[in-house]
Structures are given as structure tokens and as C-alpha cells.
Amino acid sequence: MKVFVDGRFLSQPVTGVQRYGRELLSAFDDLLNNQALASSVSIEVLAPHGRALDFTARHIRLRRVGWFSGHIWEQFVLPLAAKGGVLFCPSNTAPIASLLVAQAVVVTVHSLSFLHQPTSYTGTFRCLYGFLVSLTCRFAKAIITPSQAEKQALVSRYPAAAGRIHGVQNGGLPRAFGDEMKEARQHTQELEEPFVLFVGSLVESKNLQTLLEAMTIVNNRTRLPLRVVGGRGNGLRPAKYRIAPAIQRLVNFEGQVGFDRLVGSYRNALCLVLPSYYEASPL
């Protein structure tokens, strides 16, 4: 069986969806260490030309096709390159042509937050994703979503797809890595001032404003900085925040950071706070 992977996400800044795609490719590559499996399944990642890609694998081939990018590449270049196999699209959308010609297409729909929290997205984004997700749920061979709760949300909106929607919880880092984090935190927590960590897009649905208000109350009694990791991606409508003068110097907006730095923040934080109004995948 030939499996093609929509590698458009490899050319994008790494946030949650892109991390999901990268970790899955790594897991697929490990599975192909099994010679019996490798003899019956081949996986090829298709990605646009242009930006240099940070991708290495032992058993998965990367092929650059076409000179467009973004949704244009996905809709017009990818379908031609992915003929003759199963197409896996890990980033919410799939090419319309592949769906309509009855090719076996599997799509991960991470969240319907663009419907449930519309103020966090631009009108163009909501219209485009609403159309593409609707087509996906009508024609895709299978739809993956990261929780049973989100599966029920999809089934409620697209009942005809109920038998093709599968709730599959996102995986995590290896247990050994978690043990290393715990050990490292024990050695470093006394060297660094305690801080609260927030990780997420800077949009209204993530409810950062409530956390800022809570941090103002906390800092009336003790000094406790807040680190905010996350940015404003394409299609997102940035929220406006009010930061009390008393904590302005204690709130550090770090933007999108690399993986190692993000892990270091998780490792050393006093706590992680996620006050979101809506999350598709439970912790």
C-alpha cells in the first residue's frame, strides 16, 4: 500500500497542528523499522518547493513538488502528485479534487473551534474552513479527531459521517523524556525564580485576559511572574489585553519559541495554566 502524506505543514511555523504532524511522521518512521510492515507499506511525504524543511527520516521519503504554497499548493498541486495511493492530510483540510474522485483520503480535523469560538478567527478563515471541513466530512474515507468529545461535536454537525469519524487521543513524548524533565526540574527550580506559564495562541478563546486579572490578585500578596508563549497565526483574530500597571513588568510575552525552549519552560514552570473557553483535546 502506498501512503502519501500532505506535508504542507512542514513549511509552516511549528504550533500544535504542525507538532502533531511532525510527531506522527516520527512515529510512522519508527513503525517502518518492522521489515514485514515496510515490505507492504511505503510512506512518502509530499511538500512544496521553496522554504528549507527540517525533516529527517530513515524509511519515509520526502518529495518536493510544485512551486506554489499554502492552500493553493494543497488544492491544485497535491492531488496530481498523490494519485494512486492513500492520501493522509494531518492539518484539518484536504484537496477537493482528491475527495471528489473517491480517492481514499484520511484527514485529521483537530477542532471545530472556528465554529464554536468565531470571534477568534477572521471571516475568511471561518468561511474557508467551514467549506473544506464540510466536504471532508462528506467524502473522506476516514476522519480523525483528538478526543471523544470532539468526535461527538463532529457527529452532531455532520451525522452522515458518524461511522467514519474516529476519536484518537494525541500521543505524548516518551516516558523517558518525561523522567528527564522531572529530574532536570529538581536541579533547576531552585536556581530560577518561580513563574506561571501560559501556552497558546493570543486569541480570545484562550481567555488570557482572565489569567492576567488573576495574576494581578496573586501579585498583591507575592511576586510571581507570568510567561506567555504563543503568537498570532494566519486566520486568527488577535485579542486585546488589559494588563494592570502593577504587573506589567512581570508579564513576558515570548512569542512562538523553538521546541527546546518550550520544553525548558514546561520543565521549570511552577505551574501551567490553561483557562481556555474551548479545547478539543483534554489534557
From the list 226, 282, 220, the residue with the least C-alpha distance to 250 is: 226
Average pLDDT over residues 170-188: 59
pTM: 0.87
Yes or no: say if 154 and 110 are a contact pair by the CB < 8 Å rule.
Answer: no
Cα–Cα distance measured from residue 55 to residue 138, given in angstroms and rounded to the nearest whole number: 32
Structure confidence at residue 179 (pLDDT)? 55
- Cβ atoms of 221 and 251 within 8 Å: the answer is no
Q: Three-state DSSP class for 138?
A: helix
pLDDT one-digit tens code per residue, 38-94: 999 999 999 999 877 889 999 999 999 998 889 999 999 999 999 999 999 999 999
**What distance in Å separates the CA atoms of residue 77 and residue 67, rounded to the nearest whole number?**
9
The set of cell numbers assigned to 272 is 501551567
pLDDT band for position 190 (cuts 50, 70, 90) = low
CA atoms in the 13 A half-sphere facing the CB of 29: 16
Q: What is the rounded average pLDDT of the residues 196-218?
A: 95
Question: What confidence score (pLDDT) does residue 263 get?
Answer: 86
State residue 218's pLDDT score. 96
Read off the pLDDT of each residue in 133-154 and give the average, rounded to a whole number.
96
Q: Is the pLDDT of residue 128 over 80?
A: yes
Residue 110 clears pLDDT 60, i.e. is over it: yes
Of 42-56, 153-167, 206-220, least confident by mean pLDDT is 42-56
Which residues 6+ apart lie within 8 Å of 62 measured at CB? 7, 44, 45, 47, 53, 55
Q: Give dist(CA 9, CA 45) in Å, integer.
A: 11
pLDDT at 54: 86
For the cut 70, the answer to whether the pLDDT of residue 215 exceeds it is: yes
Q: How far apart are CA 78 and CA 5, in angstroms?
A: 10
Mean pLDDT rounded to a whole number for the chain: 90
